[in-house]
Structure 1
Amino acid sequence: MRRLSIPDDVTGQEIDKAVRQELQSLPKTLAEDVAKNLVMVARLLDEDAPRAYEHAKVALRLASRVGAVREAAGFAAYHTGRYQEALAEFRAARRMSGRADLWPVMADCERGMGRPERALAMAGEPEVQRLDKAGQVEMRLVAAGARRDMGQADAAVVTLQSPELASTGVHPWTARLRYAYADALLEVGREEDAREWFAKAVEADHDGLTDASDRLAELDGIEFTDALDPDVDDVDDVGETGEAADLGDGPESAAGDADVPEVSETDFADDDDPAAGEDSGR
C-alpha cells in the first residue's frame, strides 16, 4: 500500500472525540494512521479534493468497518464527482450509525447520477422528519435543485419558499438558501426579485460561502477587470461608474452550487451537518 505524505503537525488528535471513540476498536498504531488520514481528508477536501480522496481511500482500506471512515470516504468521493461511490459509502455509514443527517447528501448523489426524480422522492420520505433544522433546509435545497434538473423552474421557486427563507435571523445555511432562491428567481425571469435576494444573500454571507456579491454586480451591470491586465490603461476605467471596482476575494459559490459540504478537521462525528443543496456541491 502506497503511503501518502502527511505533515509532521498532523497528530490524529485533531479529529472529533466521537470519531476517536469509534477508532478505539482498532489497534493503537492502526487507529493513529487512520486518524491522520481522516485529518488530511478534512484539510484537503475543499482545496484539493483528489488528494483528499486518496487519503480517504487509505483510511478505508485500513478501517472499512468504522462508520466515520465510510462517511469520510463518501464526502471525498462526492467532492470528486464519484456520486455512485459516494452514495454507497453514505449508505454504509448510515447503516453503521443509524443517523439520519446524511439523507440530504445521499439525495444529492441521486441528482449527480442523473436521477432527480429519486432525489425528489427522498425529500418526501419520513427520514426528513428526523433531520434537525439545518438538515431540513439542506433537503429543501436538494429538492429545489431536483425540480430544476427536471425543468420545473417555477416549482423550484415554490419549493424554496419557507419560514426559514422568510426569517430575518442569520444561520449557517441562510446565505446559501437566499442565494438558491435568487438563482431560481432569475431562471424564471424575475430579475428584480432575484436582485433583491442576491443582496439579502450578501448580507448574510459573512464567511464568503457564495458568489452572491459577484452575481449582484452582474445584475447591476458592473464589469470586473483585472487591474494588472496590460490592456487596461487606467484602473479608474474599471466598471461602469468610472471608479475602480472592489474585486473582493472571489469565493466559489457554495450555494449556487450550493449544497457543497464544508468539512473541517472536527467532522466525521455524530453531530456532523450534512452538506447538500441547490446544485449542491456541483
Structure 2
Amino acid sequence: MPMKHLRLSIIGFGTVGQGFAELLAARRASLRHDFKLEVTLVSVANARHGFIYQEAGLDIPMLLELAASRRPLTEHPGITHWTTSLEGLKATGGDVLAEATATNLRNAEPGMSHIRTALTQGMHVITANKGPAALAAQELFALAQQHGVQLRMESTVMAGTPVLSAIREGMAGAHISAIRGILNGTTNYILSAMVSGRDYSEVLAEAQAQGYAEADPTADVEGYDALAKVLILASLVFGQTLKPDEVYRQGITAITSEQVRKADKNDHWLLH
C-alpha cells in the first residue's frame, strides 16, 4: 500500500492543540507503519502570535518548546507569517484542519469562521470546540456534505468516546426518544467528594491540583460546559437547534456539603 500524505493545520495552540501536536509526534512512526499515513504539520496558529506556515513541515518539538517557554511561535525558522488565523488559512489551505480554539457560546467565533472557511476550501475538519457544534452543528455538517469533506466533533461530548458517530451512523436506523447521563466529569468529581463532608472550595482546589479542573473552572462549575453538550446532543440526536437561553442551567457553586450528605442519606445523588 502506498504511503498517503496529509497536510495538517492546527488553529488554537493551547492545552488541546499542544496535546494533539505532542501525540502526533509520538505516534508518527506508528501512523506510518500501521496506517501508511504521513502527517505533516504545515501550519499552526494562536491568538497571540498569528498564523505560521511552512510547506515542508513545522518542527513539532520546537513548537512545543516555544509554547512552553511563552516565546512567540514566529521564532520558528523558515516560516511564512500572517497576522490572523483566517488570513493564513485562506492563503495556505491544507488537507485537514484541527480547530482547537476556546469555546464561545455567544457567537462561536473565531472557531465558526475557521471551520466554515476550511470546509468551503475542501478541507476535512476535526474540532474539540463546543461553540460551533452547539450553535450550528447541522449547518456545518450540511456544508461539509456540500463540499464532499468530513466534519468530526466527537471530542465535544464525552471526550474521545465516539458517542456522536455511534448515534448518527451506527444507530442511524433507530429512533432515540431520550438521552440520560453525566455530562461533566469535573463537577461530579467535586460532588462525589463532598458526600464525605468536605467543602466545595477544598475539593475544587484538589481537583485543580490534580488537573481535573481548569485554573478558571467557571465553564464547568457554573454549568456552561454541560449546557454546550446539551445543545450539541439536541441538535445532532433530535434535530432541534436550541439557543443557550432556552436551556435551564444551574451550577454547583452554591451547593453545600450538608445538602450533598442529606441527598446521600436519602439514597439520592446530586449529579450534573
Q: For the superposition of Structure 1 and Structure 2, which TM-score range results when normalised by the shorter chain?
A: 0.3 to 0.5
TM-score by length of 1: 0.33
TM-score by length of 2: 0.34
* Structure with higher helix content: 1
* Structure with higher strand content: 2
